Amino acid sequence: MITYETILHNPRAMIGIIGLAIMLLVLFIWDRKENRKNYKHRVEFGSARWGNKKDIEPYIDPVFENNVILSETEMLTMNSRPANPKYARNKNVLVIGGSGSGKTRFFVKPNLLQMHSSYVVTDPKGQLLPETGMALLKNGYKIKVFNTINFAKSQHYNPFHYIHSEKDILKIVNVLMLNTKGEGKSNDPFWDKAESMLYAALIGYINYEAPENEQNFKMLLEMINSMEVREDDESFKNAIDLIFEDLEKEKPDHFAVRQYKKFKLAAGKTAKSILVSAGARLAPFDIAELRELTAYDDLELDTIGDEKTALFLIMSDTDGTFSFLISMIYTQLFNLLCEKADDEYGGRLPVHVRCLIDECANCGTIPNLEKLVATIRSREISACLILQAKSQLKALYKDHCETIIGNMDSQIFLGGNETETLKDLSAVLGKETIDFFTIQDTKGMQPSVATNYQKTGHDLMSMDELAVMDGGKCIVQVRGVRPFMSKKYDVTKHPKYHLTADFSAKNYFDIEKYIKRGDNLILKPDDTYEVIEATDMESAQADQ
């Protein structure tokens, strides 16, 4: 019989036991490695895990400026055709964050400062342009601004300027109907259709027959105001009726004539109700300043993909009266740029155009957005939808919401407590398989202790954990890559941060001065200017 004392005093036995132990340890380590290789086959309850540096590395451009910033450690190359096609991702981004989560500070500003594209940015508070405009101007950008809060600090936008065909007329009418509410409407779609035909007829006439200086909303409003209807006299003809009669004699197949004839099928009382609804829908244009703002155009939407340009759309985040103009700009912008890419540039714009649509829910509905986000990628256009909660997107686009989200290759959660958002995110993150054990301690005449080892599934991050997530952290998801729990990007660490007004008040961008003087705010090497000595200035002031 081999006892403990025998082994202790027998060196050979001791060496044999140690060797056996080492062999068992090696086998254990080898088995663990094999388990990792066959991880997917051994995780009964889920294989979710957080991504790491190695996971995101193939998607990052080695040149910092050529990336979309997602977080402090995660970025996405702007190159739409990387060497290895499997790493190609579109540049559409869905950003969700509750009020105060830093959507502007941690995402919009850092990405604006990358300056690798043209930008179309919604600016709900009107602070983004004053804070970043000078940085963009100093880096050769053309600045455009459309301001629905303070008309005096805005350039002009005329939707009629971008009508080139009959389908463009129908698109304007569609976006107008989607984003405005008229009075005197019922649930009967007849009223909307009849009103749409009226707009199509009048806009068609204005576009094809009116002089260029009258092709605007002011003229549309005047025509509607001229359409007197007499319920007791069906044969009465107002000024607009007579205009269309003359046009029909000259051009019987005219687009506007065909639309107007359909509208005129309505009886006197019905026509009057349609006109009342149209007048209520166009009520914002009763404001003289708005009529002047849309009288002509200097935004040049169709040139944004030709050279580096930054268009700021300043809108109220509390009043949606003029949001239909913002949605109209985006609708025309996407169509114009896609057509220009196809017709003039062989399918790809020379300068990528990034639309950073902050407070997307307040911008109104962009018709066919679910189709646009799927097709603009190939034209070097991308859309970043920034929301407080997913429910906002569902309220706007209803059944198309999931299609839109599915075409966003990158998604960022900055924090929030909206139940639907947390539930969806927790489900997408998935479950990981964890080991746990239970100890059964039996006491009595024959005490015993039993340990039971098991595996179970656990949410990578549950709803309650997401709701109390650290305010400095965010969750980044890139299609086909493990999700990342990362720090939000600190804009003060950006290489171009020193050019912003946040860094120095000297960099403040004065919108009114820029509108009056254009890019003359900054002297260029080849500019001609007059140097005035301080003494001459003092004497000139004394003479005055």
- Rg value, the chain, Cα: 32
Helix (H) or strand (E) holding 270: helix 268-281
Phi/psi class of residue 444: alpha, beta or left (left: φ > 0; alpha: ψ in -120 to 50)?
left
| pLDDT score, position 252 | 93
Are 216 and 203 in contact, with CB atoms under 8 Å apart? no
Helix, strand, coil proportions of the chain in percent (round to 5)?
A: 50, 15, 35
Tokens of 119: 């930008």
Q: Which amino acid is at 167?
A: K
d(Cα 231, Cα 376) in Å, to the nearest integer?
Answer: 49
Among 64, 75, 77, 73, smallest CA distance to 114 is for: 64
* Three-state secondary-structure class, residue 145: strand
Q: At how many degrees (to 10) do helices 268-281 and 189-209 cross?
A: 70
Are 240 and 223 in contact, with CB atoms under 8 Å apart? yes
Are 335 and 169 in contact, with CB atoms under 8 Å apart? no
Bridge partner list, 454: 436
* 72 C-beta neighbours (distance < 10 Å), count: 18
d(Cα 170, Cα 308) in Å, to the nearest integer?
Answer: 30
d(Cα 273, Cα 184) in Å, to the nearest integer?
Answer: 7
Tokens of 336: 């114009």
Which sequence spans correspond to the domains of the chain? 4-37, 53-154+310-334+353-370+384-430+463-499, 161-290
Among 312, 339, 374, smallest CA distance to 162 is for: 339
* 121 C-beta neighbours (distance < 10 Å), count: 23
Provide the whole-model pTM: 0.82
Neighbouring residues of 399: CB distance < 8 A, sequence distance ≥ 6: none
| pLDDT score, position 532 | 47
Helix (H) or strand (E) holding 450: strand 448-459
What does 285-333 look like in DSSP terms, one character per residue? GGSHHHHHHTSS--S-GGGTTTS-EEEEEE--SS--TTHHHHHHHHHHH
Among 218, 299, 223, smallest CA distance to 260 is for: 223
Among 99, 143, 144, smallest CA distance to 125 is for: 99
CA 79 to chain centre: 19
| pLDDT score, position 536 | 47
Buried b (16+ CB within 10 A) or exposed e, 153-186: bbbbbbbbbbbeebebbbbbbbbbbbbbebebbe
Angle (CA) 298 303 307, round 5°: 120
CA atoms within 13 A on the CB side of 281: 28
| pLDDT score, position 537 | 42
| pLDDT score, position 201 | 96
Are 120 and 98 in contact, with CB atoms under 8 Å apart? no
Beta strands in 73-178 (DSSP E): 75-77, 93-97, 118-123, 142-147
Count, residues in the chain: 544
Beta strand 118-123 pairing with 75-77: unpaired
What does 350-403 look like in DSSP terms, one character per residue? SS-EEEEETTGGGS---TTHHHHHHHGGGGTEEEEEEES-HHHHHHHHGGGHHH
| pLDDT score, position 83 | 87
d(Cα 476, Cα 487) in Å, to the nearest integer?
Answer: 10
d(Cα 189, Cα 135) in Å, to the nearest integer?
Answer: 49
| pLDDT score, position 485 | 95
Bridge partner list, 68: 76
| pLDDT score, position 48 | 74
Q: Could you tell me the end-to-end alpha-carbon distance of the chain, in angstroms, rounded to an integer?
A: 122
CATH 3.40.50.300 is the classification of domain 53-154+310-334+353-370+384-430+463-499: yes
What parts of the chain have a pLDDT lower than 50? 38-42, 183-185, 523, 531-532, 534-544
Query: Counting Cβ atoms within 10 Å, is residue 339 exposed (0-12), middle (13-18) or buried (19+)?
Result: middle
Neighbouring residues of 259: CB distance < 8 A, sequence distance ≥ 6: 197, 198, 200, 201, 204
